[in-house]
Structures are given as structure tokens and as C-alpha cells.
Amino acid sequence: MSFIPVKFLFVFFNIDKIIVMNTLLFHESPWIFIYLTILFGMIDYLVGHKHKYKIVVVYFVVLAAIMFAYRVPFRVNNYPKNLMVAPCDGKVISILKINDWTTHIAIYLSLLDSHIQWCPTSGTVLSSVYKKGSFNPAYMFHKSRYNERIETIAYVPQIDDEIKIVQIAGQIARRIVNYKKHKNDRMDRGEIMGMIKFGSRVDLFIPHDKIELLINTGDTVIGNKTIIGKMIKY
């Protein structure tokens, strides 16, 4: 993955510090910035002589909100190598054993969550497949099973087995980005894997006899920070 995040500042009142974050807006969706600037430029041209300062303030507020939606939180983990971290921010809405060897974990990302996905563990990409589909609400399993998605299968040497990471588009999210889409791409735990623009859902499929889950349905997880599992074969 090659990109240069643009740093920006958020100053919260009553907090004596400045929080510095990165944003992928100008890398992934520069057209939003261009269209927004053109739109407010036209508004300023038409009515700017009366409300110029208000238009400028609204422009920067809207731009900051969009930059925040594309934010890349700075998180570093120094956990032991046998621990698996959450691939995204969100709420665990389902944990289900779908057969004798696989557990399915579904994490729902709201609009307020960071839309970035991180590699939950280290390994090597075996395949990454884009599947065109619909854009139903991601929390509705009976409908979202037909949603647009990218399915990435990776080999994890620590358990000598495979895991599958599925990025699922939702009703608002209409584009999925995957930086680990080529066979034999290296995945390092905590590395940015991609993003689902404006939220949606991330599913994990793991061998339940080789990874001990440390989360439950209903838990809120933080990407690249919350420990979700411990590899039994290490």
C-alpha cells in the first residue's frame, strides 16, 4: 500500500491537548473535495456578498466532518505474536460456529466509527476476490448476504491454517478499498488493510479449534487495539 495521509487537527474544548490524526480523503476520494469546493464556490458567487463569512465557516465545517469520516487513527500494538486484534472499529453483532471447524464473527461499523480495516494477524494473502452485489443494510443478515464485498483469504503460519476477512458494503457505503489484493502480499498485524467508505461490516472466518476467542456478541471493539483471540497453536 502506498499513500500519504494528510494530517489535520481536532481541538476539543475543555481538553488541554490537540489530537492529531491522518485522513485518506485526498488519497481515496479527492473528487469529494473538488465537488465540495466547486459547490461552495458557486454559492459564494451567488450570495457571497451577503453571507460570505457564514459560507466559509460552513464549508470548513463540512470539509472537517468528511475528513473525520476518512480518519486513520494512530494505533500501535505491541502484543505477543499469538494474539489476534480486531480488524476494525465497531460492534460484534454475531459469533456463530457455521460448521465443525469454522467460526464466523461479524462486526458492524456505524457511521461514527473509523472506516479503516487493519490486518488482524500476520500472514500471506492467498486470494482476494471482489463480488459485485447489492447495498442492503449490513446488519440485516438475510439481505446483506447479497451485498457487494471483497473476500480475502490469508494463510497464517502461526496456526498453519487459513482465515478469511470479508469487507462488506452497506446501504450507505458504496465503495470498498483493499490494499492486500494480490496473491502472496505480506500481511503484518496492525498494518492498514483497506477501508469501507462510510462504514458497513467486516466478517472474519477463523478455525475455532486453533484460535481461542476472547470476545462476545455485543462487545464493542477497537481496530488494531482490542484483542479478539488467542492462537492456540503457536
**Is a pLDDT exceeding 50 seen at residue 200?**
yes
Identify the domain boundary among 51, 72, 93. Answer: 72
The model's confidence at residue 210, banded by pLDDT at 50, 70 and 90, is: very high
Q: What is the pTM of this model?
A: 0.78
Same domain, 87 and 18: no
Same domain, 169 and 227: yes
Distance CA 186, CA 193 (A): 11
Identify the domain boundary among 72, 93, 111. Answer: 72
User: What is the set of active-site residues?
Assistant: 200
Distance CA 60, CA 44 (A): 13
Distance CA 88, CA 205 (A): 15
At residue 206, φ and ψ (nearest 5 deg) are -130, 155
Same domain, 65 and 97: no
Same domain, 54 and 120: no
Identify the domain boundary among 14, 40, 72. Answer: 72
| Across 213-230, average pLDDT | 95
Report the range of poorest mean pLDDT among 43-57, 134-148, 192-206, 208-222: 134-148
pLDDT score for 13: 43
Same domain, 127 and 32: no
**Residue 215 or 21, more confident:** 215
Same domain, 152 and 94: yes
Distance CA 111, CA 74 (A): 19
pLDDT score for 17: 44
The model's confidence at residue 173, banded by pLDDT at 50, 70 and 90, is: low
Residue 1 inside a domain? The answer is: no
Same domain, 189 and 97: yes
**Residue 183 or 44, more confident:** 183
pLDDT score for 54: 82
Same domain, 167 and 195: yes
The model's confidence at residue 227, banded by pLDDT at 50, 70 and 90, is: very high
Number of domains in the chain: 2
CATH code, domain with 158: 2.70.70
**Is a pLDDT exceeding 70 seen at residue 4?**
no
For residue 151, what is its C-alpha cell? 473476500
Residue 77 inside a domain? The answer is: no
pLDDT score for 188: 95
Same domain, 146 and 173: yes
Same domain, 108 and 48: no
Same domain, 89 and 68: no
Same domain, 209 and 97: yes
Q: Where are the alpha helices (DSSP H) in the chain?
A: 25-28, 30-69, 141-144
pLDDT score for 206: 96
